[in-house]
Structure formats: structure tokens, C-alpha cells
Amino acid sequence: MINKKIGFTSSLPVEVIYAAGHTPIDLNNIFVEGASAEYIRKAELRGFPRTICAWIKGNFAAALSANLDEVIGISQGDCSNGISLTAMLAEEGLPIYHFSFPQERTYPALDNEIKKLEEHFEVSRNEVMKVKKRLDEIRAKLITLDEWTWQEGLITGKENHYWLVNSSDFRGNPDRFEEELSAFMEEASQRNPSIPAHRCAYLGVPPIYRDLYDRIEDLGGRVIFNEVQRQFAMPYLSSDLVEQYLVYTYPYGVFARLKDILYQLNLRKIDMVISYTQSFCHLQIDNIILKKHIKLPFLNLEGDSPEELDSRTLLQLESFFEVYG
């Protein structure tokens, strides 16, 4: 069996790709961990406008640099810019497959989409379920790591972000991911609990700022709820594959997200909410609805390029803690 490198732009049923013996690669992680500014520059040289979200430009250049065999774009349930991104990648000669999270959010519709994905990769549901069982063992550990973050004070917001965000593709190697996760958790279990003065929630797509979590800790806060990153880790451990991707909130719009957010804010006794939006992103509109329904101190931060917090944004963060901290 030939192991192919399959890039993708947003979380999807990676079980199918692993079951086919291939390696899934979340392009967002390659972009943000790599030469991010250079990736953006390369995309702009190819004609991407300045007024397009940096993640789209970064994913474009990351896909071209990652030696991929194929890219899966999400044609429903993610960003509309993603469709144009995959068109540009097709122009570069990369084979493209489109997966969608049907917006009616019904079991038969999603089941059908997953079946088409399985047919594309020539794997059976049984083979996919075997992989799901294996990945669920790792997801169970991530749930524990998340509990250690908000219940035990053993894990920082940045560490929580790192492990949860990387569960979108398990960094292309679930066994190694689990080994590293277990070693990290062993070390973390020996720590003295550190209880933050301010229990913060982080909402929205992962931050493009490199030092946001550190600056929040400097101000006495700690992110103990990373909303979208936690969703990537499929935290409900549904035994059914389709069900797992039905309860996953991110593709189904702001009200699906809001229900999960309100429940978790209450459960985790959150004091302050930091909602991140990316420049030129449609989720800025969803943020209006989040702000309206969340009755807690609420700060919206907007980021553009992969860099440290600029002085204006840092000032906004400091003022927020000064007023509500």
C-alpha cells in the first residue's frame, strides 16, 4: 500500500485517511509552525490580495511546500475562502477532493458524505471504525489533559492549546503523538497545582499571535477553556463515527458553537472571555452574536499576521484585565 500525504484545511474524519494507510496533514499547523511570514509573502506574490485572511494564504503556500499527494477541501461547514483556495491549489496541479459537513446536520446526510470519503479512499466502515477506536484511546487522554487544565491547575492554557489543536491530525503519527502526550502528562502530573487568579475562556479559531497565552498568564489569567481546539479533539467520545462528527460544533454555525460555549463557561466557572477573530474573516460576524449572548466580561481581539502581540492589542488586553481582573 502506498502511503500518501493528504493535506486538509479544517478538521474532518481523519479516521478514513489513516484507515487507508495514508498520512493526514493539517495545513494550518504546517503554516503556523513554519516560516509563516514567508508563506504569506509567497501567496501574495501569486496574487492573493492583502485583504484575504492570512490562514488562507498560509495554507496555500504550506500545501505547495509539503510535497502532498492530494488536498481535501471542506466545501460546506468551513470557510467560503477555502473553496477558492482549493481552486488555486488545483491550478498548481494538486489533486483535490471536496468533503462537506451538510448544513442540515442530519445523520443520513453526514453518513453519506463519510461513505463517499471512504469510497474515495477505498476503505470499509469496519476498517475506519478500528482506527476510530485507536484514536479514541488518545482522545480519552486529551479529555483528561483538558480536565487537568480547568479542574486541577496542572496545565497552562498554551499547553492545552498545543495538544488539543494538534489532535486534528495527530501530527501525522498517532503512536508517536500518544507517546509524547503520555510523557508530557507524566511530567505535568508531578507539578504543584497553580490556581489562576482569573479563569479565562478563549473562543474562536486558534490565535495567529504567538505569545497570546503567555501575555494572559503575565496578567494573572489562564485560559482554561480553548473552545475550537477542544472541538478538534472530539471531546464527547461518541462510539459512533457519524455521531462524533455530528456533535462536533465548529462546522455547524454560531448557534451550535454557542450552546457548547455557554455550557462550558458555566461548568468551568469562567470569569472572563477572550474571543479571537482573524482579520478579513466571516467569523467576525458570528462574534457579534457570541458577544450578545455571553453575559461575562468579553474582549474581542483581532489578529492578522503571525507575530507577537502588537502594542495596541497588548494594551487592549491589559485594559481588559485592569477593568475586570
Strand partners of residue 99:
74
* Minimum gap (Å) between residue 252 Cβ and ligand SF4: 14
* Minimum gap (Å) between residue 254 Cβ and ligand SF4: 12
d(CA 82, CA 76): 9
Query: 302 by DSSP, 3-state: which?
Result: strand
**Chain length of the chain:** 325
Size of the site for ligand SF4 (CB under 6 A): 9
Binding of residue 314 to ligand SF4 (CB under 6 A):
no
Q: Which of 281, 299, 309, 314 binds ligand SF4 (CB under 6 A)?
A: 281
d(CA 319, CA 325): 9
11 CB-near residues (< 8 Å, 6+ apart): 26, 168, 231, 232, 248, 250
258 neighbors 301 (Cβ within 8 angstroms): no
d(CA 273, CA 296): 7
Binding of residue 278 to ligand SF4 (CB under 6 A):
yes
Binding of residue 283 to ligand SF4 (CB under 6 A):
yes
Binding of residue 81 to ligand SF4 (CB under 6 A):
yes
223 neighbors 88 (Cβ within 8 angstroms): no
Nearer to ligand SF4 among residue 81 and residue 86 (C-beta): 81
C-alpha cell at 139: 482522545
Q: Which of 43, 205, 258, 309 binds ligand SF4 (CB under 6 A)?
A: 205
Binding of residue 53 to ligand SF4 (CB under 6 A):
yes
* Minimum gap (Å) between residue 318 Cβ and ligand SF4: 25
* Minimum gap (Å) between residue 242 Cβ and ligand SF4: 24
C-alpha cell at 223: 485560559
Nearer to ligand SF4 among residue 17 and residue 32 (C-beta): 32
Binding of residue 89 to ligand SF4 (CB under 6 A):
no
Give the residues lining the site for ligand SF4 (CB under 6 A): 53, 55-56, 79, 81, 205, 278, 281, 283
